[in-house]
Amino acid sequence: MTVFAYDEADPDNPLSQVGAEDIPRLPFGAVELDRSGKVVAYNDTEPDEGAALRAPLVGRDFFGEVARWAGASAIAAEFQRGVATNDLNVVFDCGVGRRDYKVRVHLKISPILGTYWIFIKKLRRTA
């Protein structure tokens, strides 16, 4: 497995361009994608508090519509590489400014189903 670890000040950090007010609204959870990056299924573990339900994600382009912050990053590049090589198991740990957690983005292939998973999780900072 390959792990990319980014500090919050790292210019290559895919979350460095996301505003602090947008971080709590990121779609943490699990997303299953097809080869083209379209959402097949998802589990939103942190819906917006007090806001209307999010629009359904199934059928939408994950990197172009759902998580645009990842679309022009190494995350999208690794996804495309993994689809092309049929080998995907990579983790990105991203620091998030002014938050007490980092975000881990794990891309993984599901060889039995022929789909690809993206797991997004908050990691609490220690020290």
Q: Is the pLDDT of residue 127 over 90?
A: no
Rounded Cα gap, residues 48 and 72, in angstroms: 25
Positive or negative, the CA dihedral 19, 21, 22, 28 is positive
pLDDT at res. 50: 46
The three-state (H, E, C) secondary structure of the chain, written as one string: CEEEEECCCCCCCCCCCCCCCCHHHCCCEEEEECCCCEEEEEEECCCCCCCCCCCCCCCCEHHHHHCHHHHCCHHHHHHHHHHHHCCCEEEEEEECCCCCEEEEEEEEEECCCCEEEEEEEEEECCC
* Chain CA centroid to CA 26, Å: 9
**CATH homologous superfamily for the domain 2-124:** PAS domain (3.30.450.20)
pLDDT tens sequence across 37-87: 999 888 765 545 544 566 778 899 999 998 888 888 899 999 999 999 999
Whole-structure pTM over 0.75, yes or no? no
pLDDT tens sequence across 77-114: 999 999 999 999 999 988 777 777 788 889 989 877 88
pLDDT tens sequence across 8-21: 677 766 666 666 56
